[in-house]
Amino acid sequence: MSTVRVLVTGAAGQVGVDLVSTLRGEVPPGADARWQPDGLAVGSDEFDVLGVTRHELDLADRDAITRVLGLTKPDVVVNLAAYTAVDQAERDVEACYAVNATATGLLSEACAALGAHFVTISTDYVFDGEKGSGYREDDVPNPQGVYGASKWAGEQRCRVQDTIVRTSWVMGVRGKSVVHVIANRAESGSTVRFVDDQTGTVTCAADLARALVTVVRERPGGVWHVANEGTTTWFDLARFVGRELGRGDEFATPITTAELSPAPLATRPRRSDLVTAKWRSRWAALPDWHEGVARLLRDRAAS
Ligand SMILES: NC(=O)c1ccc[n+]([C@@H]2O[C@H](COP(=O)([O-])OP(=O)(O)OC[C@H]3O[C@@H](n4cnc5c(N)ncnc54)[C@H](OP(=O)(O)O)[C@@H]3O)[C@@H](O)[C@H]2O)c1
């Protein structure tokens, strides 16, 4: 079997670092070494991995996209680079669209020209959160903020044969995410207030990385929802993290979105949990979020 060359953009981001390690046959912190959705262990020489950071490939530079892909000739491109600052995006619309929409389209086109498969990551924030139950792949997007709208615009610039993985509430041992904010507060003896009226699905970066390895192998095309099993609210997540770190129920207090001060610039969906039935009909489900977050906290403490 010949080695598959995979180019990963956003390689220094929280999913990027875990995906590059996983494709190299390593077990990144926070990962379950025994779990792989297609049941096949990752060989250390199965993939030739090229992880590129913004320094090596700035997606705002359209010529660089064609040049880097032309020079490296990947079989598969996984696009993890994104403008992810949800609130800042409200005031930085052009820069956000340049990466999340325009560059996604350019990468898709460059892959088509090379005969490479294109995988890009999108978000639950493409939905308005007003459906009242979890979102499936064929539900109609109606983003509420600039970030979600830019990611939806990126999806629309993809070709039908590309694979779009929508994920949500991503957190890893490495990189920045709310789980580290909560854990730091729990460890320092302080308390937190988190909203209990936004529901979603947590996705542990190391589990998502394993799912993406399966996507790279099988190149399914189309839209796929990928998240850990179970839904939660930000308050419920904070309380769980507190308990795992030995804090009592006084650690986390539930509040409403209306009580947030200052009010965030971007509107978030009230309920945007992703239904993963399509994924589960083909491959193994991602572990329950409690298990994934407990693993993350264990390896965070060790690292
Ligand atoms: N985080 C979440 O909760 C979440 C939820 C749903 C979907 N997603 C999606 O999942 C994917 C991975 O997210 P993540 O959590 O790993 O994000 P992340 O940690 O913010 O990483 C994104 C990476 O993209 C890079 N980047 C930004 N602008 C770039 C540019 N112009 N050229 C090249 N690289 C650029 C960033 O580099 P710098 O550090 O230099 O800025 C960063 O390393 C993204 O598509 C994101 O939209 C994330």
What distance in Å separates the CA atoms of residue 191 and residue 250, rounded to the nearest whole number? 7
Count of residues in the chain: 303
Enzyme catalytic residues: 147
Q: What is the pLDDT of residue 1?
A: 63
> What atom of ligand 1 comes closest to residue 57's alpha carbon?
33
Q: Is residue 263 part of a domain?
A: no
DSSP per-residue letters across the chain: -PPEEEEEESTTSHHHHHHHHHHTT---TT--TT--TTS-PPPTTSEEEEEE-TTT--TT-HHHHHHHHHHH--SEEEE------TTGGGG-HHHHHIIIIIIHHHHHHHHHHHT-EEEEEEEGGGS-S-SSSPBPTTSPP--SSHHHHHHHHHHHTS-TTSEEEEE-SEE-SSS--HHHHHHHHHHTT--EEEESS-EE--EEHHHHHHHHHHHHHH---EEEE---BS-EEHHHHHHHHHHHTT--TTSEEEE-GGG-SSPPSSPPPSB-PBP-HHHHTTSPPPPBHHHHHHHHHHHHHH-
Ligand 1, atom 34: closest residue by C-alpha: 54
With a 6 A CB cut-off, is 203 part of the ligand 1 pocket?
Answer: no
What separation in Å is there between the alpha carbon of 81 and the centre of ligand 1? 4
Which of the listed residues 86, 170, 203 should we mutate to test ligand 1's pocket, taking the one with most ligand atoms within 8 A of CB? 170
Q: Is residue 82 part of a domain?
A: yes
Q: What is the pLDDT of residue 303?
A: 79
What distance in Å separates the CA atoms of residue 5 and residue 205, rounded to the nearest whole number? 22
pLDDT tens digit sequence for 227-276: 999 999 999 999 999 999 999 999 999 999 999 999 999 999 999 999 99
Q: What is the pLDDT of residue 301?
A: 86
Whether residue 130 has pLDDT greater than 70: yes
Which whole number is the average pLDDT over 156-160? 98
Q: What is the pLDDT of residue 50?
A: 98
Q: Is residue 295 part of a domain?
A: no
Among residues 161, 32, 41, 156, which one has the least CA distance to residue 104?
156
With a 6 A CB cut-off, is 154 part of the ligand 1 pocket?
Answer: no
With a 6 A CB cut-off, is 126 part of the ligand 1 pocket?
Answer: no
What separation in Å is there between the alpha carbon of 10 and the centre of ligand 1? 6
Q: What is the pLDDT of residue 264?
A: 95
Q: Is residue 190 part of a domain?
A: no
> What atom of ligand 1 comes closest to residue 120's alpha carbon?
45
**% pLDDT > 90, the chain:** 97
Q: Is residue 302 part of a domain?
A: no
Inter-residue contact 283 to 216 (CB < 8 Å): no
What distance in Å separates the CA atoms of residue 191 and residue 188, rounded to the nearest whole number? 9
Q: Is residue 245 part of a domain?
A: no
pLDDT tens digit sequence for 265-292: 999 999 999 999 999 999 999 999 999 9
**Domain at 57, CATH number:** 3.40.50.720
Ligand 1, atom 42: closest residue by C-alpha: 13
Token digits of residue 137: 């792949």
With a 6 A CB cut-off, is 10 part of the ligand 1 pocket?
Answer: yes
Whether residue 142 has pLDDT greater than 70: yes
Q: Is residue 147 part of a domain?
A: yes
Among residues 110, 109, 108, which one has the least CA distance to residue 118?
108
With a 6 A CB cut-off, is 54 part of the ligand 1 pocket?
Answer: yes
With a 6 A CB cut-off, is 15 part of the ligand 1 pocket?
Answer: yes
Among residues 111, 269, 244, which one has the least CA distance to residue 186?
244
Which of the listed residues 50, 84, 170 should we mutate to test ligand 1's pocket, taking the one with most ligand atoms within 8 A of CB? 84
Which whole number is the average pLDDT over 117-138? 98
Residue range of the domain that includes 72: 4-176+203-227+272-288
Q: Is residue 213 part of a domain?
A: yes
**Domain total of the chain:** 1
Inter-residue contact 164 to 170 (CB < 8 Å): no
What separation in Å is there between the alpha carbon of 204 and the centre of ligand 1? 15
pLDDT mean across residues, the chain: 97
Whether residue 2 has pLDDT greater than 90: no
With a 6 A CB cut-off, is 60 part of the ligand 1 pocket?
Answer: yes
pLDDT tens digit sequence for 39-86: 999 999 999 999 999 999 999 999 999 999 999 999 999 999 999 999
Ligand 1, atom 7: closest residue by C-alpha: 123
List phi, psi (to 5°) of 17. -65, -40
pLDDT tens digit sequence for 163-180: 999 999 999 999 999 999
Which neighbouring-strand residues pair with 171? 204
With a 6 A CB cut-off, is 16 part of the ligand 1 pocket?
Answer: yes
Q: What's the predicted TM-score (pTM) here?
A: 0.97
